[in-house]
A and B are shown apart, each in its own frame.
Chain A
Amino acid sequence: MLDTLLLILIALPFIAGFICLALKNHSARAVVVVLVSIVLMITSVVLLGQGNFEYTLGGQWNTLITYLDFALLAYIAFQAFYHRKYHSLFAYSAVIFAIASIVMVYYFDFVMAHGIEVEPTFFADQLSIIMVLIISIVGSLICIFGIPYMKDHEHHLHLEITRQPRFFLYLVLFLGAMNGLVLANNIVWLLFFWEITTLCSFMLIGHDKTEIATVNALRAISMNMLGGVGFTAGVMILFSNAHTLSLIDIINSNHAPSLLILPLSLMVFAGLTKAAQVPFQSWLLGAMVAPTPVSALLHSSTMVKAGVYLIVRLAPAYADTWLSTMVAILGGLTFVITSALAVGQSNGKKVLAYSTIANLGLIIACAGINTPLAYAGAIFLIIFHAVSKALLFLCVGTIEHGIGSRDIEDMHGLVDKMPLTAVISVIGMLTMFLPPFGMLIGKWTAMEAASVLPIVLLLMILGSAITIVFWVRWAGILMSTSSKPVKRVIENIAFLTKTPLVVLAALAIILNVIIFQVYNLMISPLAKVYYTKAADTFTQVGNGALVNTVGSFTLWPIFATVIVVILFSIYAVGKAKNSVVTAPYMCGETADNDEDRPRFRAIADGWVDYSHSNYYLNRVFGEEVLTNGSNIISIIAILVMFIVAYMGL
């Protein structure tokens, strides 16, 4: 049973990916992708029923992985070298990092740790299962969304030969690699899947083969390979220090912390690069040039979540160290900086990208705080962020195909043109920052957890206040309408586009309703296993509230208020049916009601248009104002982290 599940979760996407590559027929490929997605979703739910497990594969598998790793790294080096003319610095650095990795892996596998057996090969606790669920459900929905999207996308690009087979190869394969990554216990296996995600992201970001796409893909691969080198070095030092390659072994802290800290810091560094934390944020922003399903996948369920997964996974191992404090500060810094950067952006996808990095920073800050409460906060954030962010990316993709722009300013009055997408987008945005939605519960948990570390708490408070700015105004704009009576539009979008949107929106809401069950079933046991010492500070669920030692969040009054608001709104909107619909006040005479937008009456009875836009405050929150300084601060913080780790504090 278990081996079948693992086979489906990890190997099936690989096989299906190559089938997609072979299939030239669009509908056949669509059928394969949909089928695989459905199978993955069902399997992940079955795995949830299965519960925690450990599973060992024989030694010949280890050898196979070693050789595949060489092949993979060589292929990465080749790909980077092949594209060197686009950006030589990124390309050559990627090549150097890849070759360095090969040398290190060779030395490690054949000299240092030859023939080492790690038991078990795979293991799953609630965190792994949560990740598998996110990857398999959210990721699969994104793949389904990709089918009609890519058809449209290539139609826009006027491609003669379709390049979708290759696209879906990497898209589906990505899911398999991620499932492998979160289930692996053998760190060498984890590293192998880690490098596969690097390759997949390179291929997907550069998919459009435009110059900018290739440059950004090279940027991504060079930064991620740097992380990969750090990871490999971490594994080597870990092995020479503690003589172990088993994750379970490390996080159950069977070793003296001083032996583990340096390798852990290197692995955390790898996690930071993958999670695009400042100063590595530029690769994820560059990744925005890729087709929307790629951005959605990279941002919600895969890639960046791999980095966060690693840091959260290792968190118990470096609890109560200075390294942990530095991780918390780094996460908090990223949270504030990227939230502020998001304020200055009018490009919808960039806002989402910065917000992703910010939330990852928050998760990492939670991992760094390293208490049961913070751990719970981190997992809350991982779950709810994946769902909401995937939803938002798919919405922006749909909007972009609908109105031909991803600029927030062009989305005024979207509810008149694309009512369904606009409403779903607003749901997605509200779930990102308002109670009673899970992201906010996560943020609340994080803040109360951070009360032990005031500096991180301050960063969280500032970041969270800034977050509100860009969500509120974007959500507000989407619902702005002209006062003239509009014809009710029924949106004409493909079934395979609509389904993922609706399912994700429903998930985003349902998960909040069952948040206590989620907590009791998945999160609380984890904290109990990994933080045995701090047993009295567990968050409890009682009387419809999350209760911890410092505070409590009672959710039912908020849900009750939401229901009251909905009922009242239905009543009031119904009563307002006959009320007068007026044009906005325009400082005197108002434009006729049948005008599309309000205008000023001016000299000689002429009409004068006006334009309005959000405040983007570019002199305060602009990229060019903030990026350099914040990069320097973060680099210093990372150096401090390494120094702290080297001193074994």
Chain B
Amino acid sequence: MGLINNSRAKSPWVVHFDCGSCNGCDIEVLACLTPLYDIERFGILNIGNPKHADVLLVTGTVNPRNERVLRNVYEQIPEPKVVVAIGACACTGGVFADCYNVIQGVDKIIPVDVYVPGCAARPEAIIDGVVLGLQKFQEKVEKMNKKAVGN
């Protein structure tokens, strides 16, 4: 089991969900893929299909129109999974927090493991956030096993 657990931290595949971002954070997420930052160094791959993903990157403000979709995408990811909220909007609603149609933070909808602040968040910060999230896999697995025993 040790082998599998070690591997989890070394091979996080991320799927990116844009809740309604101004695209600032999205561009920074994609910048992580570029040669300058090259997140594949950490074995991170940007995957299109939540079924294959381990990490969900959420950018932008959640609102009542897309919260259902966010929850649905979250549910499509198999356990163990980590959610990283990227940018001020995803963390708290940011400057739009007081708008009538904005939910203040992704964590109101799905459990968030790592918050990466910034407007927009820097690629270094995003990478740091994902790597931080990887450390959470261990607890996630324990929780998963407990659940399995409970069943």
Contact = CB atoms under 8 A, between A and B. Distances in A.
B109 interface: no
A589 B49 contact: no
Interface string A413-426: 00000000000000
A589 B69 contact: yes
Contacts of A601: 69
A53 interface: no
A258 B78 CA distance: 75
Contacts of B72: 588-590
A589 B76 CA distance: 9
A580 interface: yes
Contacts of B76: 582, 585, 590
A588 B69 contact: yes
Interface string A237-273: 0000000000000000000000000000000000000
A578 B148 CA distance: 10
A601 B78 CA distance: 21
A361 to B, nearest CB: 43
B51 A582 contact: yes
A24 B72 CA distance: 64
A533 to B, nearest CB: 61
A384 to B, nearest CB: 40
B15 to A, nearest CB: 11
Nearest to A591: B72
Contacts of A588: 69, 72-73
Contacts of B151: 578
Given A590-B72, A601-B69, A585 B78 contact: no
Contacts of A585: 49-51, 76
B68 interface: yes
A582 B151 CA distance: 19
A582 B79 CA distance: 13
B73 A589 contact: yes
Contacts of B49: 585
A580 B147 CA distance: 14
Nearest to B69: A589
A601 B73 CA distance: 12
A52 B78 CA distance: 66
Nearest to B65: A605
Contacts of B73: 588-589
Contacts of A578: 151
Interface in B59-100: 68-69, 72-73, 76, 78
A579 to B, nearest CB: 9
A59 to B, nearest CB: 79
B77 to A, nearest CB: 10
A537 B130 CA distance: 66
Given A580-B78, A582-B76, A589 B68 contact: yes
Nearest to A583: B76
Contacts of A589: 68-69, 72-73
A634 B75 CA distance: 59
A237 B123 CA distance: 89
Interface in A556-608: 578, 580, 582, 585, 588-590, 601
A580 B78 CA distance: 9
A603 to B, nearest CB: 12
Interface in A58-109: none
Contacts of A590: 72, 76
A601 B65 CA distance: 13
A585 B78 CA distance: 13
- Among A578, A589, A601, find the residue whose CB has the most chain B CB atoms closer than 10 A: A589
Interface string B50-61: 110000000000
Interface in B16-75: 49-51, 68-69, 72-73
A589 B19 CA distance: 13
Contacts of A582: 51, 76
A588 B69 CA distance: 7
Nearest to B17: A588
A588 to B, nearest CB: 6
A577 to B, nearest CB: 12
A592 to B, nearest CB: 10
B78 to A, nearest CB: 7
A589 to B, nearest CB: 5
A589 B50 CA distance: 10
A299 B72 CA distance: 52
B149 to A, nearest CB: 13
A580 B144 CA distance: 14
A578 B149 CA distance: 13
A262 to B, nearest CB: 66
Contacts of B68: 589
B71 to A, nearest CB: 9
B8 to A, nearest CB: 19
A585 B48 CA distance: 10
Interface in B100-151: 151
A589 B67 CA distance: 11
A590 B68 CA distance: 11
**3 tightest Cβ-Cβ pairs between the two chains A and B:** A589-B72, A589-B69, A585-B49
18 contacts: A578-B151, A580-B78, A582-B51, A582-B76, A585-B49, A585-B50, A585-B51, A585-B76, A588-B69, A588-B72, A588-B73, A589-B68, A589-B69, A589-B72, A589-B73, A590-B72, A590-B76, A601-B69
Interface of A: 578, 580, 582, 585, 588-590, 601
Interface of B: 49-51, 68-69, 72-73, 76, 78, 151
Given A578-B151, A588-B73, A589-B73, 15 more contacts: A580-B78, A582-B51, A582-B76, A585-B49, A585-B50, A585-B51, A585-B76, A588-B69, A588-B72, A589-B68, A589-B69, A589-B72, A590-B72, A590-B76, A601-B69
